[in-house]
Amino acid sequence: MSHSVSSLTSWVPVAPESHFPIQNLPYGRFSEGDGPIRLGVAIGESVVDLAVLGEAGLLPTVPGETPELTLLEDRALHIEIRGRLQELLEASCPTLRDDGALRNRAILPMRRVRLHRPVGTIGAFVDFYSGIHHASNVGKMFRPEQAPLLPNYRHIPIGYNGRASSVVVSGTSIRRPKGQTKAPQAEGPSFGPTREMDFELEMGFFVRGGNPLGEPIPMERVEEHLFGLTLVNDWSARDLQRWEYQPLGPFLAKSFATSVSPWIVPLEALEPFRVAGMSQAPEPLPYLRQTGPQHYAIELEVTLQTQKMRNPQVISRTNARELYWSFAQQLAHQASNGTNLQTGDLYASGTISGAEPGTFGSMLELTWKGETPLEMVETGETRRFLEDGDVLTISGWCQGDGFRIGFGEVVGQILPSPG
């Protein structure tokens, strides 16, 4: 880690446990009340309004009706803004610090603004299945007489195209979905609310730039198309999924909602936290082979709070380094058939689970299909799956020397089915 970067401090108050020190500076979109949505950067408990600083001549302006896409697309512009912001916010720089009028217009308390989805229009959402421990657990549950992993798992990043229109920002309540389910002994299916509402602990990444239709992106260039990471909760209805996923895959069990955190952490902020990840055997085919560390050491935590609880309870802790396929491999595989990627597309890793109980990234695993319910220590309640009123929160961060590079939270409360 660069000493000059790791030792930076800001004149904006930033607590040691804050996710948003000067080393991070993630991008998001915010508004004041019902006002226009603007592009901002998080620092401490505040949001920096990039447009205000641009109008004041302290930052390059970000043009276009969708400035977040402009910023994702233009790496040189992003690097310039990021570097200039670190200069302006550094403890010894008086330019913005000592200009009270401008400072009050440009730096707003986060608690007073409304945070929006970090990309306004997401053209595509793709969900992978790159958590090998999760895949193994699911295999053990549903194919007990077979090998836990299907034959292709260690050869190919498995994924499917999800529903981009139902990607929502953290804090959006989630309606319990309805669909077809079939009880084991029932003669036929029935229609109604899911009884097995679940979360999936994932990381996501947003795409920078695209490629012409029919032209793959080679592995040595794929990272040029990775802008930054975000937290993802890909909500799931397990009983719907069990009935509908064969022969093609998830449909209504997944498409009703996917929650993302409000902030995109750029790869530049994550550079000091690269790790090698687990070994891959057999060696991937040439188009998926990568050099150097391509995973990230991101601590992940999940809490659950029922309506009767005063405080949330941690139900899982794990790390993004538990992914088998890296983000770069996921994107290289997606583009290998000539799929035309677009700026602002969202890709999710798939459920991230560790190898031991307490590190699993879904209720399906934490309760082992509901057979061993979780106990809520404060109230004595139990949970096999999520119930109406439950609040599920995912948080994630990289721990540096005296600071964190964090992603904030992705929060959702389960509401009853409509009708």
Mind telling me the catalytic residues? 134
Please state, in angstroms and rounded to a whole number, the distance separating the CA atoms of residues 387 and 385.
Answer: 7
Phi-psi region at 33: left, alpha or beta (left = phi > 0; alpha = psi -120 to 50):
left
| Lookup: tokens for 259 | 């929650």
Please state, in angstroms and rounded to a whole number, the distance separating the CA atoms of residues 10 and 85.
Answer: 11
Contact 106, 52 (CB under 8 A): yes
Residues 6+ apart with CB under 8 A from 262: 28, 29, 30, 115, 116, 117, 118, 169, 170, 408
Please state, in angstroms and rounded to a whole number, the distance separating the CA atoms of residues 197 and 253.
Answer: 9
| Lookup: tokens for 199 | 């979360």
Cα–Cα distances (Å) from 87 to 1, 96, 372, in that order, read: 19, 10, 52
Neighbours of 304 (CB within 10 A): 21
Phi-psi region at 168: left, alpha or beta (left = phi > 0; alpha = psi -120 to 50):
beta
Strand partners, 175: 415
Judge if the upstream peptide bond of residue 282 is cis by omega within 30 degrees of 0: yes
Strand partners, 39: 29
Contact 62, 77 (CB under 8 A): yes
